[in-house]
Amino acid sequence: MGSSLSNLTEGAASGRPGLGDIPESCVACVFMYLTPPEICNLARLNRAFRGAASSDSVWENKLPPNYQDLLDLLPPERYHNSSKKDIFALLSRPVPFDDGNKEVWIDRVTGRVCMSISARGMAITGIEDRRYWNWVPTEESRFNVVAYLQQIWWFEVDGAVKFPFPADIYTVLFRLHLGRFTKRLGRRVCTFDHTHGWDIKPVRFELSTSDGHQSSCEFCLDETEQDEADGNHKRGCWIEYKVGEFIVTNSEPPTEVKFAMKQIDCTHSKGGLCVDAVFIIPSNLREHKRRGVLK
């Protein structure tokens, strides 16, 4: 295969047809069926491939249909006179909005829209009182800060976002961590001094959308009955809890998504929990990433 490709690329020098003889328009048609990483790799072969890989018609096909809504979150000078390829590269990086508490971006392989909402962008009961909550700076969050709960009786976190999501099926996830983590001598260390109460009763997760969809589920965040050899798999690790899914059939009007997690049984206190963010991601995209199909 490598020898055949070499012969094709060197065909022009030997008088035989090669890849460089393929019309750029034909190459562009083939690129319509490839992923952006594949297109960028093939662009290195020759001039025709480079030209096709820069074609607006190719990259228009890779962008979500409402990509202008994402661009509207940026200053116009960031994308003015940019090619569609440059716009794809720009939007594949996080675009912050709502004072930087929310981010939206397109997946680099599929071009589908993803979003994250920081703990700072949510309503957290008691967050102003440092006896209960603290903001902890960390590189382990894409927002560089997480909300850490020391102890509280009434636990409730609520959030909402209104956005013109493209047609797709989306999954809503809370990213949580039991225990407080720090770095000592370059190593990650977790402490569980405040971690308690999450094994008594489950936490309830709720999801609703402006088109009437509702779903809820419950998870026990702590596991005390673990095998001693295996340990507690939920402590000291970031875990994504799936709240539910919702379907968008059209980006207009914008879809409002509300989400919450709560444990409001005041018969016991709970603590030692880090709240990072909520993620809204196309459902089968999440499954592909978990299997390692997409990076």
Query: Where does the pLDDT of residue 15 fall: very low under 50, low under 70, confident under 90, or very high at 90 and above?
Result: low
Q: What residues make up the domain containing 156?
A: 102-291
Residue that is last in its domain, among 62, 80, 112: 62
Our count of domains for the chain comes to 2
Which of 283, 212, 210 lies closest to 243 in space, CA to CA?
283
Per-residue pLDDT band at 42 (split at 50, 70, 90): confident
On whether both 226 and 278 belong to a single domain, the answer is yes
Residues 129 and 264 in one domain: yes
Output phi, psi for 60, to 5 deg: -60, -35
pLDDT higher for 261 or 42? 261
- Higher-confidence residue: 224 or 117? 117
- Averaged over 194-206, what is the pLDDT? 94
* Mean pLDDT, residues 244-260 taken together: 95
CA nearest 280: which of 44, 118, 39, 65? 118
Read off the pLDDT of residues 62-74 as tens digits, 9 standing for 90 and up.
999 999 999 999 9
Together in a domain, 181 and 274: yes
Quick one: 50 and 119 in the same domain? Answer: no
Q: Do 150 and 33 lie in a common domain? A: no
Which pTM value belongs to this model? Answer: 0.86
Average pLDDT over residues 133-146: 96
Torsion 238-244-248-253 (CA) sign:
negative
pLDDT of residue 293: 38
Confidence of residue 5 (pLDDT cuts 50, 70, 90): very low
* Residue 255: inside a domain: yes
Is residue 67, in this structure, part of any structural domain at all?
no
- Per-residue pLDDT, averaged over 194-222, amounts to 95
- What per-residue confidence (pLDDT) applies to 4? 44
Residues 148 and 284 in one domain: yes
Let me know whether 145 and 237 are in one domain.
yes
Tokens of 75: 């200053």
132 and 228 co-located in one domain: yes
Question: What CATH number is given to the structural domain containing 213?
Answer: 2.60.120.260
In which band, very low, low, confident or very high, does the pLDDT at 19 lie, cut at 50, 70 and 90? low
CA torsion 100→209→253→283, rounded to 10°?
70
Query: pLDDT at position 233, please?
Result: 75
Task: Confirm if 239 and 229 have CB atoms less than 8 A apart.
Answer: no
Answer whether residue 6 is part of any domain. yes
- What pLDDT is attached to residue 295? 37
Query: How confident is the model over 171-184, as a mean pLDDT?
Result: 94
Contacts of 152 (CB under 8 A, 6+ apart): 125, 126, 132, 133, 269, 270, 271
Q: How confident is the model at residue 292 (pLDDT cuts 50, 70, 90)?
A: very low
142 and 285 both lie in a single domain: yes
Q: How many H helices and E strands in the chain?
A: 9, 15
**55 and 191 both lie in a single domain:** no
pLDDT tens digits, residue range 229-239?
455 678 999 99
Average pLDDT, the chain: 88
In tens, the pLDDT along 91-121 reads 999 999 999 999 999 999 999 999 999 999 9
- The domain boundary residue, chosen from 38, 62, 86: 62
- Tell me, yes or no, whether 156 lies in a domain: yes
